[in-house]
Amino acid sequence: MSVTNIDPEIIRLLKGSGARMTQKRQRILEALSSFDRPATAEEVRERAGLAPSDLVTVYRNLEAFQKVQILQRLPLENGTHLFELTAPGEHYHHLICRHCHKAERLDVCLSKSMEAKAKAKGFSQISHLLEVYGVCEDCRA
Amino acid sequence: MSVTNIDPEIIRLLKGSGARMTQKRQRILEALSSFDRPATAEEVRERAGLAPSDLVTVYRNLEAFQKVQILQRLPLENGTHLFELTAPGEHYHHLICRHCHKAERLDVCLSKSMEAKAKAKGFSQISHLLEVYGVCEDCRA
DNA sequence: ATTATTGCAAACCCTTTGCAACTTA
DNA sequence: TAAGTTGCAAAGGGTTTGCAATAAT
């Protein structure tokens, strides 16, 4: 029950940032890692076994996770977001189904070329977004 | 005053979709085309010389423009959006300053390879998002 | 003890919607 | 006159914030 399947490195990073390991935080982490696709905040809350009113806590934790770069936030076309645990410092790009949010990672990434180009133009604190959206076979009307 | 600098093709497309050319719509189009960068809905409203309460009208028009594919909506990292007129049916990718929204178009686009890959995986109605964010030289602290 | 986290409640803010009045074609 | 558009006012809905109570180190 209290045994976690969370990557120790993730726990180390969180503690290193001054964070404490609460039961809810642990549950949220476990919930996140149990998904095989990026999930909404609400889905995370539910899978973590938290009450609806705990959605705030979920958001606060997601923010904390993002700060230590173990979580990625993906924008959907409707203005909402999906969240996904990442290897520390990594980020991914996806092919995402607009309906069921099933997603698979794409093996493309522009980090190098893009960041170089952006830096050459005087930009700093560079990040980028690359996502492909569609409707998957199962969700096709 | 009533002379518009709007691409006739755009007007043709709008009319073809059943839209009517009202004064406000025209002003919104002109405002959009006057920007040298993607703009927020609020910025469009202001530049169009519309009252704050007309922001609704701006949004409704932006939606109409998007439908005929002469406008692109770009998500920012904070959950809001920028809007930009496009050549009919086209779309662009950008290097955008998080602070001033200054943007330049990137000469990369994944349409072909990505859409092919996505189709091969059974996806339909494919679209994609590719934006690079940073802080430009002028906005650097 | 000290500092982080949670709980509750409410605010935020961009964006959307309903419906009646008003234009455009 | 028929259909699209605007005005007004309000709701939506994901996300954030303030502050006191609580839990972790």
Give A132's contacts in chain B (Cβ within 8 Å): 110, 114, 117-118, 123, 126-129
Same domain, B70 and B29: yes
pLDDT tens digits for B46-99? 999 999 999 999 999 999 999 999 999 999 999 999 999 999 999 999 999 999
The per-type count for chain A, helices as H runs and strands as E runs, is 5, 5
CB B130 to CB A128 under 8 A? Answer: yes
What is the total count of domains within chain B?
2
CATH code of A76's domain: 1.10.10.10
Same domain, B69 and B7: yes
Same domain, A68 and A130: no
Same domain, A72 and A26: yes
Same domain, A28 and A53: yes
Quote the pLDDT of residue A111: 83
Same domain, B42 and B100: no
Give A133's contacts in chain B (Cβ within 8 Å): 126-129
Burial class (CB in 10 A: 0-12, 13-18, 19+), A22: exposed
Q: Which of A52, A70, A85 is the last residue of a domain?
A: A85
Give A134's contacts in chain B (Cβ within 8 Å): 118, 123-127
Same domain, A46 and A61: yes
Q: How far is the CA of A19 from the C1' of C7 (A)?
A: 19
Owning domain of residue B3: 1-85
Q: Which of A41, A68, A85 is the last residue of a domain?
A: A85
Closest by CA to B95, choosing from A80, A113, A105, is A113
Q: How much is the pTM? A: 0.92
Same domain, A114 and A72: no
Quote the pLDDT of residue B1: 40
When CB atoms are compared, the residue of B75, B77, B118 closest to A134 is B118
Q: Which of A70, A85, A100 is the last residue of a domain?
A: A85
Same domain, B17 and B74: yes
The band of A80, judged by pLDDT with boundaries at 50, 70 and 90, is very high
Cα atoms in the Cβ-side hemisphere of radius 13 Å centred on B92: 20
Q: Which residues pair with B104 in a beta bridge?
A: B95
Q: How far is A74 from chain B (nearest CA, A)?
A: 9
The band of B6, judged by pLDDT with boundaries at 50, 70 and 90, is confident
